Amino acid sequence: MLDYSHNPAFVLASLAIALIAAFSGLSLTQGLSKMSETVRKIAVSASAVILGWGIWSMHFVAMLGLDLPIAFFFDPLVTLISALTAILFMGLALLIVHFGQRTRAKIVTAGAVVGIGIPVMHYIGMSGMELCAPVYSAAGVVAALVLSIGLSVLSFLIAYDGRSARNIVLGTLGFGLAVFAVHFIAMAGTGFVPMPEASAILPPMSPGVLAFGVTISAFVLSGIFLLNGASFATRLGGVSAAPAKMAPEDPSRAAVPPAPPTPAAPAPAPDTATEIAPPGAVPAGLRIPYEAEARTHFIAANEVSAVRAEGHYTVLYSGASKLFCPWSITEAEARIPKDRFIRTHRSYLVNLDHVTSFERKKDNGVCFFEGTAALPKVPVSRSRLAEVRDRLGM
């Protein structure tokens, strides 16, 4: 076995890359439940590339700091496969938690997928070494796998517990440390032996070429990190910073923030007395809050075709729009006037004024909305079928 050591500067650099990639990927997916499915797919794909490429970059930054008594190189194809493997595993994990109903079991499953993907990427990358061959101990492989799954599951449970800024930061630390620790635990259980045919092998990818590629990756990841960090800081301070800056400087500027609610106050509503009332006097439920771009907006209840439960929150459907509402389905049912909306299913509230047709299906039914592209139909459960038919005048 060959003696080897690690350059401390590269060790620290690899940790920084792991943390940068973790924050960039996890913060990019924050708030995706409010977005359309198309936007969600794009963001999940981008995040998978960032996280997977970050894991790969961390690994090869650390490998650049590996000091062996002989020269060694990497096979380009195997190196590329290791990067793509990491991206695919990250993509699968993010698909699990960002599509469909998010449950604790799904979060744990996604974390386990990541936990398996990290050592798989590591060992594929190591298999691409030329001029010397890595030799693994069974204990090292098992320790790396167990540690990776445990830390990855923990980081996902933290990051997806509430999707707050605190969760993102703690999840970043957990994920970054998982990637970093798995690499060096795996390396602790790895030895290196020179290959007999080493003198006949031409270097497919020299350390200089690898260093160039990894440097470019590090700069790109750092740029993404800075962009995400800026928007992340804006989300943290945007609500309180604006009033603090405007209030003391100029009274005319203080009048600017109330301007946007002015057109929202007379939003279409069946009661003219309500329409001309100031925002504070609008009865609870006639305007429904939704969140977008780090702000809370409002939409008139009669513009909403349906409300769907999504975990502890809800999604509002209006025309072609899907809007993220902070209310739970129970709170929405309690706040919205009963003369306008009806519960058709445990997960749906429906605005009867927007129902354009109804279809009976054995012991349940379906409400159709021709003017709501985002949600063309809503199920009616058997227990609520009679009430819905009665409210529709059937």
Question: What is residue 158's predicted lDDT score, i.e. its pLDDT?
Answer: 85
Question: What is residue 249's predicted lDDT score, i.e. its pLDDT?
Answer: 38
Residue 306, pLDDT > 90, answer yes
Question: What is residue 207's predicted lDDT score, i.e. its pLDDT?
Answer: 55
| Residue 221: band (very low, low, confident or very high) from pLDDT cuts 50, 70, 90 | low
| pLDDT, average across residues 294-302 | 87
Can you name the residues that pair with 160 across neighbouring β-strands? none
Question: What is residue 33's predicted lDDT score, i.e. its pLDDT?
Answer: 66
| Residue 265: band (very low, low, confident or very high) from pLDDT cuts 50, 70, 90 | very low
Name the most confidently modeled range: 44-48, 53-57, 117-121.
Answer: 117-121
Tokens of 91: 């993509």
Question: What is residue 58's predicted lDDT score, i.e. its pLDDT?
Answer: 85
Q: Are 105 and 126 in contact (CB under 8 A)?
A: no
Question: What is residue 279's predicted lDDT score, i.e. its pLDDT?
Answer: 38
Query: How confident is the model over 7-30, as pLDDT tens digits?
Result: 888 888 888 888 888 887 777 777
User: 3-state secondary structure string, the chain?
Assistant: CCCCEECHHHHHHHHHHHHHHHHHHHHHCCCHHHCCHHHHHHHHHHHHHHHHHHHHHHHHHHHHCEECCCCCEECHHHHHHHHHHHHHHHHHHHHHHHCCCCCHHHHHHHHHHHHHHHHHHHHHHHHCEECEEEEECHHHHHHHHHHHHHHHHHHHHHHHHHCCHHHHHHHHHHHHHHHHHHHHHHHHCEEEEECCCHHHCCCCCCHHHHHHHHHHHHHHHHHHHHHHHHHHHHHHHHHHHHHHHHCCCCHHHHCCCCCCHHHHCCCCCCCHHHHCCCHHHCCCCCEEEEEECCEEEEEEHHHCCEEEEECCEEEEEECCEEEEECCCHHHHHHHCCCCCEEEEECCEEEEHHHCCEEEEECCEEEEECCCCCCCCEEEECHHHHHHHHHHCCC
Question: What is residue 212's predicted lDDT score, i.e. its pLDDT?
Answer: 59
On average, the pLDDT of the chain sits at 77
Measured in degrees and rounded to the nearest 5, phi and psi for residue 343 equal -80, 115
Query: How confident is the model over 318-369, as pLDDT tens digits?
Result: 988 889 998 888 888 888 877 779 999 888 999 988 999 999 888 889 999 9
Residue 234, pLDDT > 60, answer no
Question: What is residue 108's predicted lDDT score, i.e. its pLDDT?
Answer: 92
| Residue 174: band (very low, low, confident or very high) from pLDDT cuts 50, 70, 90 | confident
Residue 219, pLDDT > 50, answer yes
Q: Are 192 and 205 in contact (CB under 8 A)?
A: no
CA torsion through residues 369, 374, 377, 380, sign: negative
What share of the chain in percent tops pLDDT 70?
A: 75
Question: What is residue 216's predicted lDDT score, i.e. its pLDDT?
Answer: 67
Q: Which of 200-214, 249-263, 298-312 is predicted with the least confidence, judged by mean pLDDT?
A: 249-263
Residue 129, pLDDT > 80, answer yes
Per the model's pLDDT, the better-predicted residue between 355 and 210 turns out to be 355
Rounded to two decimals, what is the model's pTM? 0.54
Residue 230, pLDDT > 60, answer no
Question: What is residue 214's predicted lDDT score, i.e. its pLDDT?
Answer: 59
Question: What is residue 316's predicted lDDT score, i.e. its pLDDT?
Answer: 92
| pLDDT, average across residues 221-245 | 47
Residue with tokens 């009332």: 277
Residue of 285, 354, 380 lying closest to 325 (CA atoms) = 285
Question: What is residue 374's predicted lDDT score, i.e. its pLDDT?
Answer: 84
Residue 312, pLDDT > 90, answer no
CA distance to 120, 264, 279, 376, per residue, from 373 (Å)? 43, 23, 29, 6
CA distance to 34, 78, 181, 328, per residue, from 81 (Å)? 34, 5, 22, 44
Residue 44, pLDDT > 50, answer yes
| pLDDT, average across residues 139-160 | 89
Question: What is residue 128's predicted lDDT score, i.e. its pLDDT?
Answer: 84
Domain topology for 284-391: OB fold (Dihydrolipoamide Acetyltransferase, E2P) (2.40.50)
Could you tell me the residue ranges of all domains in the chain? 5-236, 284-391
Question: What is residue 262's predicted lDDT score, i.e. its pLDDT?
Answer: 44
Whole-number Å distance between alpha carbons of 83 and 16: 18
